[in-house]
Amino acid sequence: MKRIFPTTLSDVIRTLILLIPLSVLISFILCYQIIHVKGTSMSPTLGNGDICLTQKICLQLDREDLIGFDVEIYGSNKSLVKRIIGLPGETIDVHSSCITIYRNNKGTSVIEEIYLDPQIKNPQPFSVTLGEDEYFVLGDNRQMSAGSVQFGPVKRSQIKFKFILTLFRSL
């Protein structure tokens, strides 16, 4: 009769040597994705041609996280990468030089967007109150980027991944 379970220490070690890399590979395939950035809407943070590592299972999303999502814009479906500016339940006021966040009538804050080129201004003035599963997103290159001002808030169910790091920067 053939053994199903390892019985000696060497059998256990051999089994672990095979199973550990296999489980790491399967976990990586299920939880992470490598993407190729197309376009300049997130410049200077992400450039056209950059290769990035993203996390498919996003348990927590925070302000200023970069996310990927699917949205219908200008009559076609697009996969976009944008920065989270507003979180569920907040009211967002966009002005040319700043963005003000109103947190459920519990105070306000102005976002300091240190990742933006100081010459870049926000799109037209805009105000929105987000639902309990909605996020307000904008690209870092505001002059060349569509965001929630153009296509509305992004629902949690639309979000496909969260950016982790840039693996390769294009020139």
Express each pLDDT in 42-64 by its tens digit.
988 999 999 999 999 877 999 99
Mean pLDDT confidence for 138-151: 87
Has residue 1 got a pLDDT over 60?
Answer: no
**What does the chain come to in residues?**
171
What mean pLDDT is reported for the chain?
A: 86
- Mean pLDDT for the stretch of residues 87-95: 89
Pairwise CA distance, residues 161 & 171, whole Å: 25
For the ranges 47-56, 109-118, 150-159, the lowest mean pLDDT is seen at 109-118
Confidence band for 149, pLDDT divided at 50, 70 and 90: confident
Instruction: List all residues 6 or more positions away from 140 whose beta carbon is below 8 Å from its beta carbon.
Output: 41, 42, 43, 44, 45, 46, 83, 115, 116, 120
Could you state, in order of their start, the residue ranges of all structural domains in the chain? 9-168
Which residue type does 155 have? K
Contacts of 130 (CB under 8 A, 6+ apart): 86, 87, 88, 89, 90, 91, 92, 136, 153
Please state, for a pLDDT cut of 90, what percent of the chain lies above it.
42
**Do 84 and 67 touch, CB atoms closer than 8 A?**
yes
119-143 mean pLDDT: 84
Q: What CATH number has the domain spanning 9-168?
A: 2.10.109.10
**Neighbour count for residue 154 (Cβ, 10 Å):** 24
Full-model pTM: 0.81
User: Average of pLDDT values for 111-128?
Assistant: 72
| 134 pLDDT tier (thresholds 50, 70, 90) | very high
Q: What is the arithmetic mean of pLDDT over 146-167?
A: 93
